[in-house]
Structure 1
Amino acid sequence: MDQLTVMRSIWIQASRERTWEAVTEAKQLSLWFAPGSPWEIPVMEAGAPVLFHHSPNRYHEGTEVVTLRATIEKVEPLRLFAIRWEPEQSGVSRVMTFALAEENDGTRVTITESGYETQRELELTEEGYSFSLENLKAYVEGRELPY
């Protein structure tokens, strides 16, 4: 069966440098990507471990924190940050990529994630990433987070 890929994109009125910080610094990621869910990124280099402690909130069902493990696949400063989620939860290894590009005096951020096997999984993730990108835009632009 062919694997499906999620792709979501948003334009942000901010420099690529500022946006890169928000996408790659653990403390900042924890503020806008599933707010209240801490990230751990000890070092920003390929092969380094990443932990994401997905905490319950109004957009994430459940009552317990779920810790997801990943490995940094690729880092191209100010352009690309990719991580590979470990398959222990889903049985499928997925790669999530943040790509940044200068556009119209701002930054275009595109999230892609490959490895989905069902349309339902894909649709749920698309919705989540749409929320996350709206949060990123608001965070970087200095506005209240919508989600």
Structure 2
Amino acid sequence: MDNEDRSIYIDADPETVWHALTNEDNFSAWYAPGSVWRIPELEAGCKALFTLMPSEHNQLEEGEHVDMSFTITEVVPYSRFSYMADEDELHFIFDVRSENAGSRVTVNMDGFGLSLENLKAFAEGRELPNV
């Protein structure tokens, strides 16, 4: 994964998109469906935990999982959510801004195409395309 920005237009207001990004149940629904996010406190300096489960989009076998820990680095309500992987210090930044009647979400990483498509579908109340 390189550090080229990816963005997508979402036909939903920034508040809806923000809750899709920062609520652990919502985040778990669209990001690597079947895997689980835990965000006990939405505050810079707090930990977020992610358990990646097997899917057709990764190399994990049935019964395997990968636990990852992240440190939340920035929380600007309805605007920016960022966190850093504790293992390799990879920094993920999600920016949300109003655009036309909806929102534009930009993430600072290439390789998020499928996830952004899922985020768009989730925030717009549609079926996820990438499960």
**Residue of structure 2 equivalent to 1:75:** 75
Q: Which residue of 1 aligns with 2:89?
A: 93
In the comparison of the two structures, how many residue pairs are matched? 127
Structure 2 unpaired stretches of 5+: none
Alignment correspondent of 1:106:
102
- Aligned-residue sequence identity (percent) comes to 40
Q: Which has the higher helix share?
A: 1
Counterpart CA distance in 1 for 2:57 and 2:29 is 15
Separation of aligned partners in 2, 1:78 and 1:104:
16
What amino acid is the match of 2:124?
E
What's the CA shift for 1:6? 3.4
Q: How does 1:11-90 map to 2 (within 5 A)?
A: 11-63=9-61, 64-87=64-87
Amino acid at match of 1:48: C
Post-superposition offset of 1:145? 0.6
The residue number in structure 2 matching 1:8 is: 6
Q: What SS is found at the alignment partner of 1:5?
A: coil
Q: Structure 1 CA distance, aligned partners of 2:129 and 2:70?
A: 27
Supply the AA of the counterpart residue of 1:80.
Answer: R
For 1:37 and 1:110, the matched residues in 2 are separated by 22
Q: Give the root-mean-square deviation of aligned CA atoms.
A: 1.0
What is residue 117 of structure 2 aligned with on the other side? 134
Q: What is the TM-score of this pair, normalised by structure 1? A: 0.83
- CA distance in structure 2 between the aligned counterparts of 1:11 and 1:44, rounded to whole angstroms: 24
Task: Report the Cα distance in structure 2 between the residues aligned to 1:75 and 1:61, rounded to whole angstroms.
Answer: 32
SS at match of 1:6: coil
Cα deviation digits, residues 80-109 of structure 1 (max 9, x gap): 00001012xxxx311001100000110000
Moved over 4 A (4+): none
Using the TM superposition, give the Cα deviation of residue 7 of structure 1 relative to its aligned residue in structure 2, in angstroms.
1.6
Which secondary structure state, in structure 2, belongs to the residue aligned with residue 17 of structure 1? Answer: helix
* Cα distance, 1:16 vs structure 2: 0.4
Which amino acid counterpart does residue 59 of structure 1 have in structure 2?
Answer: H
